[in-house]
Amino acid sequence: MEDSSRHVIGYPVQNVNGCSCGGAPPPPAASGTAYHYVNPKPKPCLSWIDKHLTALMLSILIFVVALAILSAALDPHLPDFSIQSLSLSNYNSTTNHGVTATWKAEFQVSNPNTKATFSYGEMDSVVLYKDYALADTRIGPLELGVARNSSRVVDASYAMVDAYVDGKVADAMNAERRSGEVKFNVKVCGYVKFGNIWSSGILPSEKHIRVWCNDVALISASAGKMTGGPKTCKVRSVR
């Protein structure tokens, strides 16, 4: 006789719909579209200090660029120099290489600017034979306006009285003079100031310039006198 109290282990009965009874429920039907959730990364945020530093740097950059453009557009041109005439007289050279001589130069100084005046105080000037300095002087003050072709003639005198000159230099200078032509260099240097808009302080109103008038050839003009010119000079700004 079978014990009715014993449990019978068997297979679950399938229902008419094909679903198993007593098991796990069937998985849900897959939908046609699947949605994937992505957690976006947080965007970095500029702090208050970063924003203001960026704005400050941008403002400085704009100011520097604007100032560079303004400087290039408004930077005044340097004055023009030329030697209209240079003369040598009273020349004498001793056997001990002592030289006596007088030079007289006539400069023409012009202002090429149409919106800026310029002026200078005293300027230093020297006469050289090649690169050997012979005599120096000072040129008086000058001021020029913005009138078209504004220019002025400036005189300068240089003198040597039995001054010692290196033997090789004196011999070379004497040889050229006897041949009927000798070349001298004239140098001028000093500070020039620009007026009008440049005097506001935004742009430099003063520049140090050097003027070179090289190889001014003097030829015999009369007894004991040699003359030469005109000669255009080179003007450079010294930084």
What percent of the chain clears pLDDT 90, i.e. is strictly above it?
A: 53
**CA atoms of 106 and 153, how far apart (whole Å):** 7
**CA atoms of 85 and 168, how far apart (whole Å):** 27
CA distances (Å), 42 to each of 39, 45, 108, 188, in order?
Answer: 9, 9, 74, 69
Q: Which segment of 18-22, 36-40, 125-129, 150-154 scores lowest on mean pLDDT?
A: 18-22
- The pLDDT value recorded for residue 227 is 96
DSSP 52: H
What are 92-130's pLDDT values in tens digits? Answer: 999 899 999 999 999 999 998 887 888 999 999 999 999
**CA atoms of 183 and 162, how far apart (whole Å):** 20
- The pLDDT value recorded for residue 68 is 63
**Coil, helix or strand at residue 228:** strand
Query: Would the pLDDT of 29 be above 80?
Result: no
Do 114 and 146 form a contact (C-beta atoms < 8 A)?
Answer: yes
What percent of the chain clears pLDDT 70, i.e. is strictly above it?
A: 72
**CA atoms of 40 and 229, how far apart (whole Å):** 84
Query: Would the pLDDT of 85 be above 50?
Result: yes
Q: Which segment of 15-29, 97-111, 191-205, 222-236 scores lowest on mean pLDDT?
A: 15-29
- Here the contacts of 221-226 (C-beta below 8 Å, separation 24 or greater) are 221/87, 224/89, 224/90, 224/91, 225/87, 225/88, 225/89, 226/87, 226/88, 226/89, 226/91, 226/177, 226/182
What are 133-153's pLDDT values in tens digits? Answer: 999 999 999 998 876 668 999
Q: In 10 A of CB 57, how many CB atoms?
A: 10
